[in-house]
């Protein structure tokens, strides 16, 4: 069934903003763009307040720099926009001074929740006892955006919201979604390589979670192969997932190969926001909890100690 046409405003026109614009237009949405840069776009604004006042959007996608997410979100909330999707991570700093507007639905764009392998895993393990989990994500930062010198990207700058904990926080969200909430974290990490910048390029986390007593997660900017993998032991089965090769395996059974196009998770995420009230999306409280995980991991690495989830007290 075709999604009903809505008036949409996308804030930010970098690579991810351009993708959102293209996909939403392909879905038949009326899309406007806010960007401070002059663009070859007919429906674009260089002033956010003017865009919000004139467009009266029913759905806003915040896809500008992470360091600007909080101020942009507060401005959008002040205009009473019904639906808002903020690109991950939610904010680049602490979780203080949170925006509050119960009239608006705010979600965070952790689109890996809509990856068919993770959706299939979710349905299989929901009634099982989960014993141990190993997650690995790594990709060589200079290869991420071939059209751009990585040294000029936000990823190399802590101030701009770079670093593997922020950049690769999809893993933090989906382990919290599948196995959480998290209860305690121990971590090692920092800027260890010769890559440019001051952002963390390696982090290793050990977590105690509500549904699993032992979850390990390694994330880095260094893996030349590029990998995104999950290994799970439950009381019944062992699961292996390769999200990049789209391979799903349970015990010694034949592997299941999933077919999906590159934009599928983004399109499904927008459909969930527009038609299903974002029921499957990462909610604002869940997005904030990811930031607490990041903060706790950084504190643990610095203090060489376990950090507990204070929100559970």
What tokens appear for 203 in the block? 């982090």
pLDDT tens-digit series, residues 106-146: 999 999 999 999 999 999 999 999 999 999 999 999 998 87
Kindly tell me if the per-residue pLDDT of 92 is higher than 60.
yes
Q: What is the pTM for the complete model shown?
A: 0.93
Q: CATH number for 7-109: choose from 3.40.190.10, 3.30.300.160, 1.10.3720.10, 3.40.50.720.
A: 3.40.50.720
Burial (CB < 10 A; 0-12, 13-18, 19+), residue 152, is exposed
Comparing C-alpha atoms, which of 206, 153, 158 is closest to residue 184? 206
User: Where are the chain's structural domains?
Assistant: 7-109, 116-257+283-312
Protein fold of 116-257+283-312: Dihydrodipicolinate Reductase; domain 2 (3.30.360)
Kindly tell me if the per-residue pLDDT of 193 is higher than 70.
yes
**Cβ-count burial 5-18 (b if 16+ within 10 Å, e if not):** ebebbbbbbbebbb
What is the Cα–Cα distance from 163 to 149, expressed in whole angstroms?
A: 16
Question: Given strand 7-11, what is the order of strands in its sheet?
Answer: 44-45, 30-34, 7-11, 59-62, 83-87, 105-109, 282-283
Q: Which residues are within 8 A (CB) of 42 and not within 5 positions of it... i.e. 6 or more apart?
A: none
Are residues 43 and 66 in contact, defined by beta-carbon separation less than 8 angstroms? no
Q: What is the pLDDT, as a whole number, of residue 38? A: 78
More confident residue, 241 or 312: 241
| Helical spans, DSSP H, in 94-232 | 116-125, 164-167, 170-179
pLDDT mean over 188-208: 96
Distance of CA 250 to the CA centre of its chain: 26
Average pLDDT, the chain: 92
What is the Cα–Cα distance from 236 to 125, expressed in whole angstroms?
A: 9
Q: Say which range, 16-25, 96-105, 260-269, 301-310, has the weakest mean pLDDT.
A: 96-105
């Amino acid at each position: 069934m075709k999604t009903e046409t809505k008036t949409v405003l996308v804030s930010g026109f970098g690579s991810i903003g351009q993708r959102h614009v293209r996909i939403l237009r392909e879905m038949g949405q009326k899309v406007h763009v806010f960007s401070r840069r002059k663009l070859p776009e007919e429906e674009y604004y260089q002033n956010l307040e003017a865009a919000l006042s004139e467009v009266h959007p029913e759905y806003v996608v915040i896809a500008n720099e992470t360091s600007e997410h909080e101020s942009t979100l507060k401005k959008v909330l002040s205009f009473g926009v019904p639906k808002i999707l903020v690109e991950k991570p939610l904010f680049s700093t602490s979780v203080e001074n949170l925006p509050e507007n119960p009239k608006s639905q705010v979600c965070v764009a952790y689109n890996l929740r809509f990856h068919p392998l993770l959706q299939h895993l979710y349905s299989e393990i929901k009634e099982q006892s989960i014993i141990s989990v190993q997650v690995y994500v790594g990709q060589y930062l200079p290869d991420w955006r071939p059209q751009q010198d990585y040294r000029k990207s936000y990823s190399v700058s802590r101030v701009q919201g770079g670093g593997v904990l922020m950049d690769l926080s999809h893993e933090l969200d989906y382990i919290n979604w599948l196995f959480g909430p998290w209860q305690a974290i121990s971590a090692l990490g920092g800027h260890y390589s010769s890559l440019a910048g001051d952002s963390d390029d390696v982090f290793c986390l050990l977590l105690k979670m509500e549904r699993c007593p032992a979850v390990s997660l390694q994330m880095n900017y260094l893996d030349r192969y590029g990998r995104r993998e999950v290994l799970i032991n439950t009381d019944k089965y062992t699961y292996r997932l390769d999200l990049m090769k789209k391979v799903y395996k349970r015990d010694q059974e034949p592997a299941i190969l999933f077919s999906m196009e590159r934009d599928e998770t983004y399109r499904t995420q927008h459909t969930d926001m527009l038609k299903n009230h974002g029921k499957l999306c990462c909610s604002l409280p869940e997005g904030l909890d990811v930031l607490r995980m990041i903060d706790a991991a950084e504190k643990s690495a610095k203090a060489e100690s376990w950090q507990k989830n204070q929100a559970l007290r």
